[in-house]
Structure 1
Amino acid sequence: MILRISIAKTRAEVLRCQYFIAEIYNRHYQIMFSEDGHDLDARIEPYPQKYLMGTVDGLLVCAFGLYTRNTYVERYGGLTDEEVLGQLEEAGVADRYVGATRRELTKLVVRDGWESFGLARMILNAAHSRMFCEGDWDGDGRPVLLLICGKVSIIERFWAPKGPVRARYLAPFPRYPVHSEYRSEKDPMQSRLIIPDVDIPAALRELTLPVELEITARAPKVGG
């Protein structure tokens, strides 16, 4: 089978991704989404503004979102400019990212029943293409910094050390009722920073979208 990963460009494609993400988050985590308002105490989150979609024979099987403004980490994570600047200075690239806009990769979902194909890693890696995460959506030409937040186990599974992209620690992410279904004391949430110039391998950053990848279901683990 062939997985086609592309940027959702039409209003119909965006709505398709929104409904898909909302359906899965509501079913698994009792989380709802809204474009008009959001309340983490009431388990209502804001929709991302951009989407990457993965389809097989026209069926939407995975999706990933991008906050291009008002990122989750900045809005709810208590992120400070000093924390970001500290990581940029440590990487020796602070001068390249003066006035950078911050975006956030978010809301990775895979259709139920399709978990054995490795789709999550495929679409997550593709989301680091500059065509998606660094696109000049606002027309201002500013450099882009990427943020993520999530459970430590998920971050370390899909980003370094097991994945190809480094995500630099910024701060622990505060506790909210909306995250009660998946975070825990043993597996807390963190905010991380990705500096495209130095943290994303060239092969991913320069990946041309759309891209088509062959997929095969993985055999289940013995005893699992």
Structure 2
Amino acid sequence: MTEDRRVLPVVGGPRPERADAVRNRRRILAAARRVIAARGVEGLSLDDVAREAGVGVGTVYRRFGGRSRLLYALIDEREREFQSAFMHGPAPLGPGDGDAAPAARVRAFLHALADRTEEQSELLLTAESDTPFARFRDAYYDLYRLHLTGLIERIRPSDAEYLADALLAPLAANLFRYQRHARGMDVARIKAGLDDLLAGVIHPQEGVMREAGPRPH
């Protein structure tokens, strides 16, 4: 089965809700944004969000289940745009008319995910670090992994699931922020490194690696 035939539902997409639930959600998310604006992501607590929103902390817990899920809710809008692009958009990131080379799509996905991580790296770092294995328990990661596995199976069927995890590993928010802010790497250099990793997965004849030239700094 090719990746394009898989059914990949958009994670975090809107679900039908009662009007009061919608109001509470919007109120809580707006309060969370104000708390983050005032204190940063590290200063975000559910107690503070509840006070700012004018609701009980139990309401926040029931609505979001915990701090990590609240952070992911703040990330959701941008995430839905990203998912729509790689699942339904034009090639090479999306399937386009269906004839995009799988290796080109893997490369486009990794580059787009690098840009996506750069945009919200602080929020992603906090969400992914909130509980043990939080990144791997989240449905976003499952969708990324399924998407890459389906593409890699068309390039190199042996152990595509492991290779999908291996290609996603450098885009964990903690490593990404370490490289960006402690090591001083720019996003172009990170993408160049992802290309090198991908070169070990695809066959040379796929020909989607960057052209030879000076490595970005």
| Structure 1 length-normalised TM | 0.27
| Structure 2 length-normalised TM | 0.27
Q: Which has the larger radius of gyration?
A: 2
- The structure carrying a bigger strand percent of its residues is 1
- The structure carrying a bigger helix percent of its residues is 2
